[in-house]
Amino acid sequence: MTTNGGVPVGDNQNSQTLGHNGPVLLQDIHLIEKLAAFDRERIPERVVHARGTGAFGYFEATADMSAYTKAAPFQKVGKKTDLAVRFSTVAHGKGSSETARDPRGFAVKFYTEEGNYDIVGNNLPIFFIRDAIKFPDFIHTVKPSPVTNKQDPNRFFDFWSLSPEATHMVTRLYTDLGIPKGYQYMDGSSVHGFKWVNKKGEVVYVKYTWKTKQGIKTMTPEEASMVQAKNVGHATEDLRNAIESKNYPKWDLYVQFIKPEDLDKYDFWPLDATKHWFEDEFPLVKIGTMTLNRNPRNFFEEVESIAMAPGNLIPGVEASEDKMLQGRLFSYFDTQRHRLGGNFQQLPVNQPKNKPVNYNSDSWGSQGNDRYASAEINYEPSNHVDVKEDNEFRMAPFTASKEMKIVQAPINKTNNYGQAGQFYNSLTETEKKHLIANLVGDLSQVKNQRIQKRMITHFYRADRDYGMRVAKALGYSAKDFM
């Protein structure tokens, strides 16, 4: 045993004292270092997605997508790319139960030869809001009350009642999909559309979908309560056990396409994060399979320290004009710098396979000063070194918007209710009954009838039967809305 500095430790059981029964001495460097290290073991937990787990594996391409993108993992059939995955719940803290009704985070980091590429999404294909300016407010509503320190339906339904664009996601969340049985029993989605760019500079919009090969499995609230009573980390344990027993979880990756010239053809804006690209209109194209075959060797170093961000893009993939995505491009990097420090990308789990070459330097935890072409030259351009950018990787000169004026306004096609009704009508009768029961279970706790009525109105506008069932279950009649 040694100290952090490599000095041998003679006694790890007894502090240095003045005599056998005297006070402890400040000169006991091993004691001081051990306590100081322990005091700093915890880092700030993620503001969202704090509760989660991770695993490692690989992606194998099953289709050649080079006609659409120059992104390294998708260039030829059979190409394998190492990856890491982090699954999570959204609203609750690190020690919370994994049985909560909550979207599940589904984030994948590809370690490609041209840098790290992250697809950071959820198990559900849409989100509650379409503009990142509302994100802090939304998350505040699903976090515990600043007064009672308890999550409160009065708060999040208050927000949703005044945010009609949330109707679609609320509907999906309160179906059985809102409580997956485990992380390997759910699909994943990029939620946002992205641009794929090929070597000719041609652009197409894509959305990613992960389809579980284990089958979708969910729990009712009653089943979730029984599991939670025995194990608040059941999903983490189940995933780890599956990998340890070599029952490796797998997902097929699909993409959907929209041509730039077709973006305005629909009754909704496809780059609106509250909207789904339904498969009957936008066919799924399978491009590969992900296999998870290794558990973390150290949870803190490989899961708690992994830094996923939708801004981790590689040549062949670019951000779309999605207003929610645009905010996430900043927010995710910013939160990682807060949690892990300015050099978080130098942590082993976040390092790319190819060696970074740039002149970013110093600050806490820096291990990257050896990346310079010269020890003396830490700037560019310079006559002394030959490190230059590669024009091949310049951003594609393209935008979906023809507008050049700056505006601060909603998107042109909000259509807040159409897809919510479409999804509701795709449910079986049993699924509809579960949806209503789950909604009413939380809505009945809302004390303000105006909030209840506004939610019922949103559901009614999505589908008449939907709204009427919720109203009846809450004890309202038609005259209450006159």
Give me the active site residues, please.
49, 122
Q: Helix, strand, or coil here: 420?
A: helix
Contacts by 358-366, CB closer than 8 A, 24 or more apart: 365/341
Q: Helix, strand, or coil here: 266?
A: coil
Q: Are strands 188-189 and 104-112 parallel, antiparallel or unpaired?
A: unpaired
Token pair of 104 as six digits: 């599940």
Give the DSSP H/E element, type plus range, for residue 169. helix 167-173
How far apart CA 171 and CA 157 sit, in angstroms, is: 13
Quick one: DSSP state of residue 430? H
Q: How far is CA 16 from CA 19, 31, 40, 141, in A?
A: 9, 8, 23, 51
For residue 91, give the nearest of 178, 175, 164, 176 by alpha carbon.
Answer: 178
Give the DSSP H/E element, type plus range, for residue 31. helix 29-39
Give the DSSP H/E element, type plus range, for residue 339. helix 323-340
**Which stretches of 48-162 are assigned E, i.e. beta strand?**
52-61, 80-89, 104-112, 115-122
Token pair of 287 as six digits: 């491009």
292, β-bridge pairs: 57
59, β-bridge pairs: 81, 290
How far apart CA 155 and CA 443 sit, in angstroms, is: 11
